[in-house]
Structure 1
């Protein structure tokens, strides 16, 4: 599978790179930022649109960003809308690809190709699930990304949350078996049974784990569904999965995961 970053369409060598954005001012179009080139410290003009600054769950309060704050962002476009027709970098703090870039900086095995990222499902500022797989025998892809004492994972989380947020990264072991992959994606909830049929899945968990399996606002199940491409319904252990599957209202989609 090609890199997640390949989906960006790299029309400029800057697109797909991470930057430290220094917020200079705030306007109706977003946050005007300064980005400094590594080595030369050349200043580039950039904008972080409001729609790309945070990804809020319903009812959530936007994080407070002010001039002088810095945050790690991804360059998603280079336009000519800068001063005097110069370059203007368009940034994103919510792109899933940003997580890939940050994680790659902490995990040598991703840079060397021994570990590949198979998919990312993210609600920026809340939670992100990253599916990984080894390309060489004997490589523990999940362990490599977490690191000893979770040092790699914690480092990536700290950088991702530099200016705001409490986003948690979860590393998921990829499997070509969709039922196994979904059970892994439900982390940290332990799945007792899974039934997958076409694009639908019924997942059974112990009754006391139902709230965590679904997650606040349905987030855990939603991200597991996005990551695996399945519509996920969570039921308590002992439920007849076949009956639960037959009760689903036709073919569902991962976007409607509950």
Structure 2
């Protein structure tokens, strides 16, 4: 049996790609289980296989203790010394036992156990090997053969295992039949009850990236970098490229002679149109490039909201938006900024409305005429707070401004803010808004009054709101601010990981 066993282990190891030690351990586990069933409880029998000659040895493993609590596993020191002179409390002693002492039928049990354990453990080892082999390969493109197509997707033979391309991971125009060759990205590896499953994707952004790496030597060699990708799979994509090397045109390198490189990728992606643009570390410049082919007049950056207003001519507006909003949506995903497209007329009207609101605010709060209010706006003052606390030197820098008038404006602004704060405090008390809501991080008195008037009295009430509901209660509130307030109110609901997922959902 010894020689046969070693040959079986060797053959199994080579055939299944499993290391011999894993096979030996699996056999020892099965033989140990069989032996313990034979001898019954009370004897901690274990099996050991010699890796060199296949010799099988059984022994009892005992823990040495001062006082026995688990008689099936422990021996007192005196009993242990009878087995080994080196026994000591806290250690172990091994007592070798003969095969015959386990019963005359153990040989048959061994044979059955070898067969059963090998089948079970080989399957487990193969599953572990698949996970260990393919997990590091996530993000790699593989080519396989379609084995079958059904409602679950496409089953693909990629060598030692079948992978699946689910319907959502297929490009809309994809059409594959049994026997066709298919190329896709290894997107994820997942353990399931039936074993490990390899999921492939043709819609993942990195599939486009890997295809370009294959086609463009400058990308493979690191001269050209792909900085960002956004896709509407099978229809359109935007890819931002950059090179630190002088003398290399990153866009031209990706297009290739007569468009050969881009056409090779477009063909694999079922005609997906790819806009290749130059990446820029300047956010506004990057957005200008990302909006191509639309020509942008200007962008207005709102750092606080991480948003930009993109201003275009009336003629360029349909191009900037794209069919179904495709162009601006892809540009937004590519750059990571929220983009609002306006025509020049809309931008002018919006600016005039904002200026008119500021002028009226200054007229009402500071008791000045429209001419002076307009001067303040034109000089860059947008809020009462700015006038109240700006250094006197800045006020005096306004052409024609007298010190007495500047001082009076500052005093009126501070008086207005004080009275307004007292009025809001009284209003909050009358509304019954909880102090915890007023003092919540990110909350302002103006917002607290607005939500209080809408019936939101405490933090829990705020947490129950949707972002759109809060924006409706507070005119002029931006989505990002509303999202931050609601997530702050909901902090006690979530663990750290859950909170991050909820924030992403609220922002989308």
TM-score, scaled to structure 1: 0.77
- More deviation in 139-148 or 231-240? 231-240
Q: Secondary structure at the match of 2:184?
A: strand
Counterparts in 2 of 1:241 and 1:121: CA distance versus 1, 3 Å: farther
Match of 2:209 among 93, 100, 115: 100
- The equivalences for 1:1-258 within 5 A come to 12-35=135-158, 42=159, 44-54=161-171, 64-79=175-190, 85=195, 88-161=197-270, 166-198=271-303, 199-240=306-347, 243=350, 250-252=478-480
Offset at residue 151 of structure 1 (A): 1.6
Write the deviation string for residues 137-191 of structure 1: whole angstroms up to 9, x where unpaired. 2322112111222221111111222xxxx31111110011111100100111111
Q: Which has the higher strand share?
A: 1
Offset at residue 239 of structure 1 (A): 3.8
Q: What is the alpha-carbon distance in structure 2 between the residues aligned to residue 241 and residue 136 of structure 1? A: 41
Q: Secondary structure at the match of 2:297?
A: strand
Q: Is the 8 A contact 1:30 1:47 kept in 2?
A: yes
Higher relative contact order (CA 8 A, sep 6+): 1
Counterparts in 2 of 1:227 and 1:43: CA distance versus 1, 3 Å: same
Q: Secondary structure at the match of 1:139?
A: coil
Q: What is the alpha-carbon distance in structure 2 between the residues aligned to residue 88 and residue 28 of structure 1? A: 17
Q: What is the alpha-carbon distance in structure 2 between the residues aligned to residue 206 and residue 69 of structure 1? A: 48
Counterparts in 2 of 1:187 and 1:223: CA distance versus 1, 3 Å: same
Offset at residue 96 of structure 1 (A): 0.2
Q: What is the alpha-carbon distance in structure 1 between the residues aligned to residue 307 and residue 505 of structure 2? A: 12
Q: What is the alpha-carbon distance in structure 2 between the residues aligned to residue 172 and residue 121 of structure 1? A: 12
Q: What is the alpha-carbon distance in structure 2 between the residues aligned to residue 95 and residue 193 of structure 1? A: 32
Q: Is the 8 A contact 1:72 1:160 kept in 2?
A: no
Q: Which residue of 2 aligns with 1:6?
A: none
Write the deviation string for residues 82-141 of structure 1: whole angstroms up to 9, x where unpaired. 98x4x6431011110001100111111111111111111111111111111102223221
Q: Is the 8 A contact 1:157 1:169 kept in 2?
A: yes
Counterparts in 2 of 1:255 and 1:234: CA distance versus 1, 3 Å: farther
Counterparts in 2 of 1:147 and 1:23: CA distance versus 1, 3 Å: same
Runs of 4+ deviating beyond 6 Å: 244-248, 253-257
TM-score, scaled to structure 2: 0.41
Larger Rg: 2
Q: Which consecutive unaligned segments of at least 5 residues does structure 1 have?
A: 1-9, 36-41, 57-61
